[in-house]
Chain A
């Protein structure tokens, strides 16, 4: 029994810790408008800009045929900085830019394509400012600053009509 109590105490502690580290807005129930915005951001992450190809569906980053992509769950960037990276990419890495006019002038990091030369990033899917805003909001709501993704996160991403999340079932 002692063990049981200890386990219970540990579980409570863990839950408290999880609650403390979770972004506050994730706990509040979402308005229909906020829920729609997250869904919109998810579709951009999942399909339109296909961010998941390199960063993985849970944004934990990966190696492989998309090159080497960082974990977005562990990013230290602010939403504004994050949006800039989506818009401008990261020179010298595989992270593409999503403003198709980036580097045609000095809007990104104050440099042009000519100045960057071989370090100029590649063009990803072209996104409008509202789309960049949506994908950043989605990631800060669902991934940034969180621990490992859960089964529930997986079902949230992929839906119920696939066996994709079965290995994560406890």
Chain B
């Protein structure tokens, strides 16, 4: 009897192991990260690949049949609870999918491992809740309770929490192996971005540009859970670039230059391209005379040691809060008949930029938003704003486009200080050579309030106090766009006006589709050439996250997190959405 029972139990467990759970995924290695195109059924990296393309080779779902897309299943998640200044958490994560297992996060940093291998339902296999100190972290998050996702490494999941910690989790069970305090909310540092894993390093950076941080990029050695290197995004005294802070009061120590979206990475030169946020205080540039490097810039850094190879600043002495933290895709293209290695960026300031990624020199720039008032254009040689004056320390961009201490009333700023393009990632279809930019169109107004100094500079401002030097004011309804650009020139090849500004991000597929969510809850598929809408489904609550696609057992699915706190800037512009309730859901679609 005993023997039979044992044999039966053994058979049961074997059956369970083979039939009911996904195949045990292989370790995530650097080799796999470099070759994601060999695993088109998976979505292994935050931006789809290191180059930042958010492109899938899957084409079972395509322009012909996308009209038959339907909900396969949904999964309710958590994390929309209040904390700090926020009434709700948000879902902004890009799902990571590996062999039928999906890993997503909510805004408060809980990680959900969801078994999607059956295609009929999503079963939460494990959940890791880091126990985030919500009031402490939420009160110094400028713009929402956000977490943009996890990374895979070996047999671990690497995640972060808003209160500044990084975690290594057992991929099979969710059990924590170690945690490291990376950012310190005591000085208003928070973490919101998905880690970039390169070999055995996890690279993140600190948010907090509205609270007087000095930004940094930090690498954790994943074998030990200890810091490998840290590079400040504002150079210290004596370092090149520090001379662009000319206030004489060491205001660079609280000058912002935050980091809050995942970088792109070029393995050929072991360089990653990190977009850098606004200078602080956001709207009182007279407080910080000088160009304020490396705020509102891109930095090219060595992944091995964090050394800065070059930097390029988009908006010197930025008076608008034009963070440039969003993705910088790596693209090789012919420019004037010559093969060029480019890193490109649709900037929050309304211009598209193509830079030579080997040295940071300017290749091309072009306005991509409908309206742009702050400068008449870019210098064709340097890419600097045409009204940039090298002989002044406080820039006077177009009159009325920003506030000043004189108290003169400000006028229209286009694009509004939200962008252009905010954090929400674009996508690139290499087969069509088109870059898809979801954007925020329209204008608003900036009011400047003279910023007082920090306590360590003899002023009254304590760490964690807001440090913005003014505020934005809505003056007209914002709308959105989806545009398809030529990545070598920035020329707009196709455009589609959207009812709402876009705060979710794009997915491109070889089925010649672009997927995009909207904050009225509509999730749409567009023709990749014409941008004509081919299909849509409304989820009944706002979408604030980019979609991914994957396949299991040979069948393609499209997945997106749904649930937005409907921020002030959303319902100020769209009062008809004021009563939309917040939810927290995963939606997965399939072909009928």
Per-residue contact bits, chain A 51-66, to B (CB 8 Å; 1 contact, 0 not) = 0110011000011111
In the complex, A47→B143 CA distance in Å? Answer: 16
Q: Which residues of A contact B82 (CB under 8 A)?
A: 47
Asked if residues B135 and A158 are in contact (CB atoms below 8 Å), the reply is yes
Asked if residues B462 and A167 are in contact (CB atoms below 8 Å), the reply is yes
Q: How many residues of A contact B (CB 8 A)?
A: 25
Q: Which residues of B contact A65 (CB under 8 A)?
A: 142-143, 210, 468, 471-472, 568
In the complex, A123→B575 CA distance in Å? Answer: 8
Asked if residues A164 and B447 are in contact (CB atoms below 8 Å), the reply is no
Asked if residues B143 and A164 are in contact (CB atoms below 8 Å), the reply is no
Q: Which residues of A contact B469 (CB under 8 A)?
A: 63
Q: A50-B87, A163-B185 are in contact. Are A68 and B449 (CB under 8 A)?
A: yes
Asked if residues A47 and B139 are in contact (CB atoms below 8 Å), the reply is no
**For residue A68, which residue of chain B has the nearest CB?**
B471
**For residue A122, which residue of chain B has the nearest CB?**
B572
Q: How far is the CB of A118 from chain B (nearest CB, A)?
A: 8
Q: Which listed residue (B134, B143, B474) contacts A162, Cβ 8 A?
A: B134
18 contacts between A and B (CB under 8 A): A53-B85, A53-B86, A57-B139, A63-B466, A64-B142, A64-B210, A64-B468, A65-B468, A65-B471, A65-B472, A66-B568, A67-B471, A68-B471, A118-B475, A122-B571, A123-B575, A164-B136, A166-B186
The reply on B133 being an interface residue by CB < 8 A is: yes
In the complex, A123→B572 CA distance in Å? Answer: 8
**For residue A154, which residue of chain B has the nearest CB?**
B135
Query: Number of contact residues on B: which range applies?
Result: 35 or more
In the complex, A126→B211 CA distance in Å? Answer: 30
Per-residue contact bits, chain B 445-458, to A (CB 8 Å; 1 contact, 0 not) = 00101000000000
DSSP class of A's interface residues: helix, strand, loop or mixed?
mixed
Q: Which residues of B contact A159 (CB under 8 A)?
A: 135
Asked if residues B135 and A122 are in contact (CB atoms below 8 Å), the reply is no
Asked if residues A164 and B139 are in contact (CB atoms below 8 Å), the reply is yes
Q: Which residues of A contact B139 (CB under 8 A)?
A: 57, 164
Binding site for A on B (CB under 8 A): 82, 84-87, 133-136, 139, 142-143, 185-186, 210, 282-283, 447, 449, 462-464, 466, 468-475, 568, 571-572, 575, 578
The reply on A145 being an interface residue by CB < 8 A is: no
The reply on A94 being an interface residue by CB < 8 A is: yes
Q: How far is the CB of B186 from chain A (nearest CB, A)?
A: 7
Per-residue contact bits, chain A 68-93, to B (CB 8 Å; 1 contact, 0 not) = 10000000000000000000000000
Q: A56-B466, A65-B568, A163-B136 are in contact. List 7 more A-B contacts (CB 8 A).
A: A48-B87, A63-B449, A63-B466, A64-B142, A64-B466, A65-B468, A68-B449
DSSP class of B's interface residues: helix, strand, loop or mixed?
loop
In the complex, A16→B468 CA distance in Å? Answer: 36
Asked if residues B470 and A163 are in contact (CB atoms below 8 Å), the reply is no
Asked if residues B470 and A162 are in contact (CB atoms below 8 Å), the reply is no
In the complex, A69→B254 CA distance in Å? Answer: 23
**For residue A47, which residue of chain B has the nearest CB?**
B82
In the complex, A50→B566 CA distance in Å? Answer: 13
Asked if residues B136 and A162 are in contact (CB atoms below 8 Å), the reply is yes
**For residue A49, which residue of chain B has the nearest CB?**
B87
Closest 8 CB pairs of A and B: A64-B468, A67-B471, A162-B135, A68-B471, A164-B135, A64-B466, A164-B136, A163-B136
In the complex, A65→B469 CA distance in Å? Answer: 11
**For residue B572, which residue of chain A has the nearest CB?**
A122
Q: Which residues of B contact A57 (CB under 8 A)?
A: 85, 139
Asked if residues A122 and B575 are in contact (CB atoms below 8 Å), the reply is yes
In the complex, A127→B150 CA distance in Å? Answer: 39
Which residues between 141 and 170 of chain A lie within 8 Å of chain B, taking CB atoms? 158-159, 162-164, 166-167
Asked if residues B87 and A67 are in contact (CB atoms below 8 Å), the reply is no
Q: Which residues of B contact A64 (CB under 8 A)?
A: 142, 210, 282, 466, 468, 471
In the complex, A66→B568 CA distance in Å? Answer: 8
In the complex, A62→B86 CA distance in Å? Answer: 16
In the complex, A68→B284 CA distance in Å? Answer: 13
**For residue B211, which residue of chain A has the nearest CB?**
A64
In the complex, A118→B578 CA distance in Å? Answer: 19
Q: Which residues of A contact B135 (CB under 8 A)?
A: 158-159, 162, 164
In the complex, A57→B568 CA distance in Å? Answer: 17
In the complex, A102→B216 CA distance in Å? Answer: 47
Q: How far is the CB of B322 from chain A (nearest CB, A)?
A: 15
Q: Which residues of A contact B475 (CB under 8 A)?
A: 118
Q: Which residues of A contact B447 (CB under 8 A)?
A: 67-68
Asked if residues A66 and B462 are in contact (CB atoms below 8 Å), the reply is no
In the complex, A122→B570 CA distance in Å? Answer: 12
Q: Which listed residue (B84, B185, B470, B571) contacts A68, Cβ 8 A?
A: B470
Q: Which residues of B contact A62 (CB under 8 A)?
A: 466
**For residue A158, which residue of chain B has the nearest CB?**
B135
In the complex, A47→B87 CA distance in Å? Answer: 5
**For residue A157, which residue of chain B has the nearest CB?**
B135
Per-residue contact bits, chain A 32-60, to B (CB 8 Å; 1 contact, 0 not) = 00000000000000011010110011000
**For residue A166, which residue of chain B has the nearest CB?**
B186
Asked if residues A66 and B572 are in contact (CB atoms below 8 Å), the reply is no
Q: Which residues of B contact A52 (CB under 8 A)?
A: 85
Count chain B CB atoms within 10 A of each CB in A65, A123, A163, A167 and give the residue with the most: A65
In the complex, A159→B84 CA distance in Å? Answer: 11
**For residue A67, which residue of chain B has the nearest CB?**
B471
Q: Which residues of B contact A50 (CB under 8 A)?
A: 85-87
Q: How far is the CB of B165 from chain A (nearest CB, A)?
A: 13
